[in-house]
Amino acid sequence: MEIITLKQALIPASLRSASISAFGFPPPCLKFHPANHGRRLLMTRAAVAVEQQAQTRVSLIRIGTRGSPLALAQAYETRDKLMATHPELSEEGAIEIVIIKTTGDKILTQPLADIGGKGLFTKEIDEALLNGEIDIAVHSMKDVPTYLPDGTILPCNLPREDVRDAFISLSARSLAELPAGSIVGSASLRRKSQILNRYPSLKVEMNFRGNVQTRLRKVREGEVQATLLALAGLKRLDLTENVTAILSIDEMIPAVAQGAIGIACQSNDDKMANYIASLNHEETRLAVACERAFLETLDGSCQTPIAGYACKDNEGYCIFRGLVASPDGTQVFETSRKGLYILEDMIAMGKDAGKELLSRAGSSFFDNLKKAPK
């Protein structure tokens, strides 16, 4: 597991990987060249200064996160809210952000559905949390498995961003305007199944991986004619100028917990639990709990096209919509619920909706999902 603090990220990789001995001298593998000596000496001194500063300043909270621009934006949002809520955390160096590379970040040449289920973007961060290498973990909730590792809790969801999907294209204003045979890039089976259900003449490129900026570049360079991205991520990265159109919930039901940020800590760490619980947005937490109960009942993973969305209507009731589909979009099962916006009722709604779709689709449908090409 590779862990890099933002302080270390400021040091060149060659220096970060054993370029300074215990006494501050270059190791034997660095050859002496007079022309480069001054530059290396300055770099060495700077690196030593950073290391000494890190040793003398003890952070009160170490935030673990992935290193993508979106993950870092979410970590910074968490940091800023902690600083605003707790004066002692506003001191310089009180909060440190630690970047952790996950399995999902390392394997970029295969579709997500081919390399495993949930936990691809959280496992290594959870391990760092349990090992005491970080104090809290910031996750995109749609990446978090429906079970939490023993010894961890997730008592906080930040206020949810816009849950809708954004359509991005240089050649069409909507999915409906794309010519037959056009390629839509998406690593999501959920999006693929709903696209093909409505527009079977289109093609979906599933090995469309990379961070938000990488996917936008692929569209600009013509690798695909369009893509769909979570509007929440584009907003957090201030990249909404790339949006061609926003899909309604009727057009594209979002992923379970899309747009929600979750913050976890060790279950026996009362201090951290109190810190992050103070940031919790209860309306978001309840909606996410409802959706995750639905997902858990369906035993969903990255290999199953599932969508679920819970929200509060104008009268204060919970409205839930759920979907399960075949990857090719030829079979789609949907359901909806309405009930009280109370945790127990909403979890029951999510479970009941999941049981209904299990019954309607039948065991053969889910057996075929496991065998279907992705």
- 143 given a catalytic annotation: yes
Alpha-helical segments (H) within 86-230:
103-106, 112-115, 123-130, 189-198, 212-220
pLDDT in tens, the chain (374 residues): 656 655 454 434 433 333 323 323 333 333 334 444 444 444 444 444 444 444 445 789 999 999 999 999 999 999 999 999 999 999 999 999 999 997 765 555 555 555 555 677 799 999 999 999 999 999 999 999 999 999 999 999 999 999 999 999 999 999 999 999 999 999 899 999 999 999 999 999 988 878 999 999 999 999 999 999 999 999 999 999 999 999 999 999 999 999 999 999 999 999 999 999 999 999 999 999 999 999 999 986 557 899 999 999 999 999 999 999 999 999 999 999 999 999 999 999 999 999 999 999 998 888 877 666 55
pLDDT of residue 34: 44
What is the separation, in whole angstroms, between the first and last Cα of the chain? 28
Q: What is the distance between the alpha carbons of residues 346 and 76, in angstroms, rounded to a whole number? A: 31
pLDDT at res. 43: 43
Write down the pLDDT at residue 40.
44
Instruction: List C-alpha distances in Å: 354 to 222, 248, 249.
Output: 39, 23, 19
Q: What is the CA radius of gyration of the chain?
A: 23
Task: Collapse the DSSP code of 185 into the 3-class scheme (helix H, G, I; strand E, B; otherwise coil) and give the result.
Answer: strand
Q: Which residues of 256-286 are buried (b: 16+ CB within 10 A; e: fewer)?
A: bbbbbbbbbbbbebeebbebbeebebeebbb
Per-residue pLDDT at 1: 60
Q: Which of 105, 135, 143, 165 is catalytic?
A: 143
Which residues, 6 or more positions from 190, have their beta carbon under 8 angstroms from its beta carbon? 253, 255, 305, 306, 307, 325
Which pLDDT score, from 0 to 100, does residue 371 have? 67
User: Residue 248's CB: how many other CB atoms inside 10 A?
Assistant: 10
The pLDDT of residue 23 is 29
What's residue 120's pLDDT? 75
Sketch out the chain's domains with CATH numbers.
58-159+260-280 (3.40.190.10), 165-246 (3.40.190.10), 281-373 (3.30.160.40)
pTM score: 0.82
pLDDT value at residue 262: 98
- How far from 361 is each of 19, 159, 355, 368, CA to CA, in Å? 59, 34, 10, 11
Taking every pair of C-alpha atoms in the chain, what is the biggest distance, in angstroms?
Answer: 76
How far apart (Å, rounded) are the C-alpha atoms in residues 271 and 274? 5
